[in-house]
Every structure is written in structure tokens, then in C-alpha cells.
Amino acid sequence: MIAFLIPYAIAQLFYGGVSDRFGRRPTLLWGLAIYTVASFVCASSTSMTMLIFARIAQGVGAAGSMVMVRSIVRDLYDRKQSARALAIISTVMVFAPATAPAIGGYLHTQFGWQASFISLGLMGASLFTYCALRMAETNVVQGADLLGNIRALARGYRVLIGERTFVAYSLNIGFLASGMFAWFAGVPVVLIDNYGVAPDRFGYLMLTGTLGAFFGYASAIWLTGKIGVNRMIVLGTFIALLGASLYLALPLAGVLTPLAAIAPMSLFGIGLAIAFPSVMAAAVSVRPDYAGTAASINGLVQYGTAALATLLVGALSSTTHLPLAWVIFGTQSLAMIAAWVGWRGRPAE
């Protein structure tokens, strides 16, 4: 997972700035091509070293799609409409981590470990073909001068990092996401190794833990238009903190069961889903002329903090989910601070 996640985070830093200057369409196609080839190389790996390097390349390629989704949405819509559009997209995207354990487990059992990578490669090839044939360029502000483009790319990073509100939004994104990634990384070990959950039941239990996210994203689609992006960020982050607090309170009270390790994450998921589309839209709207660069920095912060949280969870071995709960609670406390800083520097709605 780390072999994929770290390059996935770092590569996002470059895709957005490149797409701001050279276009979204070619940037997306290059990312999809890398991802597709790397997926098939993973499936044909003959050693662990080969598999790790292929996973690194897969992460680099996958990063392009994540950055381009956020950038293209901002090209097409204003701040509030972007939040609603991202909520719709996220409702679909949440199926991936929710269903991956069950689907991956089935493919592995029925066809071998290579089947998952072959499936990913076929999906990548299908997306590449569709985008190559049907996708139009959405970034009309591009330059033809190579040296000028490189200078503008560097200027975009400098300008955004100097924006306090943008930094707050990016950190909010990172800390919210790191709580969920920490849970994904830590809860399988706790449930299977320590709480006696059978591996074939684990994937279905994970689905119940992510139900809150489905509800939250569905709510965000219509709620954003009623209370606005700024309030959605604070509200969602606060609900996520409540879920994290409950997740910590149960093991502190001696409740050490599979249900206690899963159920509170539904409340956390509601909060994350309410806040996430709005804070992503807010971040790329601070300077719309650098939307791609903003999406890149958001991606780096999001998956960089997620990788750190995942490593921390791995280092805190335990027979219960209490250390995992502390990590999730800590990340959401920091997310709430970032949300408050962003609120103070918010634009009018």
C-alpha cells in the first residue's frame, strides 16, 4: 500500500501545474497510459522487487486522474457548483474503498492475485480510450512558450503557498483524509488478527463502516446550495470530530468489540463526506487561474498526510483498536483547527 500511496501523493504535485500550462486533456491521457501499463506489469511481475516498482509507477499514473478531476470541475463550474459536482463524483468514488476488499478478495480467491491487477489494467485502458475519443480540453488559459510556461508553473506554487486560507483548506483536506486512511490501514489487523473476524466476513463489515459516507455525500449534493460552502466545511469537520471522539471513547471505556471498531466510523464518514467536496472546491477556488496547481498541492497534502498516518498506525502495534482510535482522533482535532482558520479567512458567499 505504501509503495503505491507515497508516489501517488508526490506525483500529484506535478500534474496540476503542468495541466495549467499545457492542458488538462494531454496530462490526463499521459497519467492513464502510465497507470494502465503499470497495472499489467504488476500482473506479470515475477518477483517482489518488480511488483514494488510496478506499484510505484501505478501510483504515479493514478495521481493524474485525481488531480484532473478536481481541476476540470473547477474549469467548468463556480465555487458552489464545484462543491456540488464534487459531491456527486465523490458519491461514486466512495464505492472504490468500500467495495475493493470484497471484490479483490473474490478475484484473488477465484482467479489468483494477478486478477485484480488485470482488472485495473483493463479499466485503465477503457478510460484512456474513452477520454482520447470523447474528452474536450477544458483549460482555455494555456501558453505556447515553454520557458514562460515553466516560469508560470513555478509562480503558481509560490503564490498558493503564500495564501493562508489555501494552506488551511489543504491541511483540512489532508487531516480529514488521513483519519479515513488510518482506519483502512489499521482496522483489518485489529478485526482479523485480534478480534477474531473471519477474512471472508471482513470485506462486508467494511461496507457497513462506510455507509455514513454514502449518506454524507448524498446530503452534500443538496445541502451545499442551502447553507453554502463555508458552513459545509465547518459542519462536516465538526461531525467528523464527533465520530472520532466516539471512536476513541468506546475503547477507553473498555468496549473492545468488532462493532466498536467499525460503527463510529459511520458518523465520521458522514462528516467527512459533508466537508470534503466543499473544502476541495474552496481550495481550488482561492486562485482559479491556478486551479490545477491548487489541486496538485491538495493531493500531495491529502495523500502525504494519509501515508504518514498509515505508517504511524503500523508502528503502533496493539491487541485492541485503542492506538488506532488515538490516531484518528488526533487527525480530526487538527482538521478542526484547520477548518477554523479557513473559516476566518473565508470569502463572502
Residue-wise DSSP of 172-233: HHHHHHHHHHHHHHHHHIIIIIIS---HHHHHHHHHHHTHHHHHHHHHHHHHHHHHHHHHHH
Section 48-73 average pLDDT: 90
Q: Which H or E element spans position 37?
A: helix 24-43
- Grid look-up 467528523 returns 240
Chain segment 214-258, per-residue pLDDT in tens: 788 878 888 887 888 889 999 999 999 999 999 999 999 999 998
Angstrom distances, CA of residue 89 to CA of 103, 181, 297, 318: 21, 19, 20, 36
Is residue 349 in some structural domain? no
Instruction: Examine residue 51 and state whether it is found in any structural domain, yes or no.
Output: yes
Report d(CA 18, CA 67) in Å as an integer: 11
325: domain CATH number is 1.20.1250.20
Give CA–CA dist 195/192, Å, rounded. 6
Measured between its terminal Cα atoms, the distance across the chain in Å is 40
Model-level pTM?
Answer: 0.79
3-class SS letters over 63-119:
HHHHHHHHHHHHHHCCHHHHHHHHHHHHHHHCHHHHHHHHHHHHHHHHHCCHHHHHH
The grid cell for 313 is: 498506525
Arithmetic mean of pLDDT, 103-127: 89
* HSE-CB of 247 using CA atoms within 13 angstroms: 33
In a domain, 200, yes or no: yes
CA gap 194, 233 in Å, rounded: 36
Report the alpha-carbon distance of residue 12 to residue 28 in Å, rounded: 12
- Give the structural domain span for 185: 2-344
Cα angle: 87, vertex 330, 168; to 5 degrees: 55
Residue in the block written with cell 477548518: 339
Q: Which three cell numbers stand for residue 14?
A: 506535478
pLDDT score of 286: 87
> Residue range 92-109: average pLDDT?
72
305 part of a folded domain = yes
Mean predicted confidence (pLDDT) in 118-126? 95
The pLDDT of residue 77 is 84
- The alpha-helical segments, DSSP class H, found in 135-193 are 146-161, 164-188
pLDDT more than 70, % of the chain: 91
pLDDT band, residue 97 (cuts 50/70/90):
low
- Give me the pLDDT at residue 173, please: 93
Q: What is residue 223's predicted lDDT score, i.e. its pLDDT?
A: 84
Q: What is the pLDDT of residue 248?
A: 97
Number of domains in the chain: 1
Separation of alpha carbons 223 and 177, rounded Å: 21
Average pLDDT, the chain: 86
Among residues 28, 41, 117, 53, the alpha carbon closest in space to that of 295 is found at 28
- Contact at 8 Å (CB) between 42 and 117? yes
**pLDDT for residue 44:** 94
Instruction: Kindly give, in sequence order, each residue whose CB lies less than 8 Å from that of residue 121, ignoring residues fewer than 6 positions away.
Output: 36, 37, 39, 40, 42, 43
Is position 293 within any domain? yes
Range ranked top by mean pLDDT from 44-53, 88-97, 290-299: 44-53
Residue 136 in this model has a pLDDT that exceeds 80 = yes
Residues 144-199: pLDDT tens digits?
A: 555 555 676 678 788 888 899 999 999 999 999 999 889 988 888 888 888 888 76
Check pLDDT > 60 for residue 143. no
